[in-house]
Amino acid sequence: METALNIVVVDDEPLAREVLEGYLKRIAGIQSVHLFPNAKEALLYLEKQTAGLLLLDIEMPEMTGIEFLKRLPDPPLTIFTTAYRNYAFDGYELGVIDFLLKPIAFDRFELAITRARELLDLKEHSQLPDTSEHNNDFIFVKSGVQRIKLQFSEVTHIQGLKDYAVIYTPAKKILLKGSVKAMLGIFPSNRFIRVHKSFIVNLQKVNQLERNYILLNGHHIPVGRSFREDLEKLIQTH
């Protein structure tokens, strides 16, 4: 059963709001959509109400989307919708889950909503790492009364989302309670390296290193400038 979504859209362009509203009407399971022409009105709404997903423009008068997001004490899952490609890194710093470049194609938009639903489902069933029994090959994670064995060799990368970490494998995603920093203390340092404030990668899974990104199992992982030199040295030795 698909997660019913309460969505807030913030964009100063009437046409952009109209397009997003039209797209959302084409997707099943959208419980409610609230449209705002500026960040100030959306901020007042979110001070009293909750939302499952935020679709947020960046370049807006009076208050930018980035300023708005920083003012939210507990922001919902957020997708940037913008005409400016250079804001992707800012988004990752703020825990944004996706970045849609205008004009947005419906297929790409639908994929972003699907990913958001997956993360919301995972959040409801988030798990705890069990550090009582692990070595350089695996760790157990707690899911209710069950203990699930997670092989490190299966993990491609880890994404931090505030107080959670999304563990990616080719077959599934696992959401663990804990920060990126906490994951660094669990996953073996000779195989996993932090490449960005919000990302850790398994060096053995890296397919390609570009200027600011790692191509890994179809994912584009951003590389922070302060992490690049150490990453290049480690790739040469692996």
Compute the radius of gyration of the chain from its Cα atoms.
19
User: Residue 48: which pLDDT band, with cuts at 50, 70 and 90?
Assistant: very high
Residue 115 has pLDDT above 60, yes or no: yes
pTM: 0.76
Report the percent of the chain where pLDDT is more than 70. 90
Note the CATH number of domain 5-123.
Answer: 3.40.50.2300
How many other CB atoms are found less than 10 A from the CB of residue 199? Answer: 22
- pLDDT of 169 > 60? The answer is yes
Nearest Cα to Cα of residue 217 among 160, 170, 171: 170
**pLDDT value at residue 5:** 87
- Give pLDDT, residue 145: 66
In one letter, which amino acid is 102?
K
CA pair distance 198, 97, nearest whole angstrom: 11
**What pLDDT, on a 0 to 100 scale, did the predictor assign at position 122?**
79
DSSP annotation of 154: G
CATH 3.40.190.10 for the 125-237 domain, yes or no: no
Q: Is the pLDDT of residue 54 over 90?
A: yes
Q: How confident is the model at residue 225 (pLDDT cuts 50, 70, 90)?
A: confident
| Both tokens assigned to 71 | 């003012």
Strand order in the sheet with 30-36: 30-36, 5-10, 53-56, 77-82, 98-101
Region 133-158: mean pLDDT is 82
- Structural contact between residues 100 and 108, judged by C-beta atoms closer than 8 angstroms: yes
Query: Where in the chain is CATH 3.40.50.2300?
Result: 5-123
Q: Delimit the CATH 2.40.50.1020 region(s) of the chain.
A: 125-237
Residue 47 phi/psi, 5° resolution? -70, -25
Per-residue CA distances from 12 to 56, 83, 149 (Å): 10, 12, 47
User: What's at 164, amino acid-wise?
Assistant: Y
pLDDT at 56: 97
**Residue 230: is its pLDDT beyond 60?**
yes
Say whether pLDDT at 1 is over 60: no
Higher-pLDDT residue of 16 and 219 is 16
Residue 210's pLDDT is 80
Residue with tokens 């092989």, as numbered in its chain: 151
The H-or-E segment that residue 164 falls in is strand 164-168
Query: For residue 69, how far is the Cα from the chain centroid?
Result: 14
- pLDDT value at residue 89: 63
CA-to-CA distance for 235 and 110, rounded, in angstroms? Answer: 35
**Degrees (nearest 5) of the Cα angle 138, 144, 148?**
20
Minimum mean pLDDT range among 21-25, 60-64, 207-211: 207-211
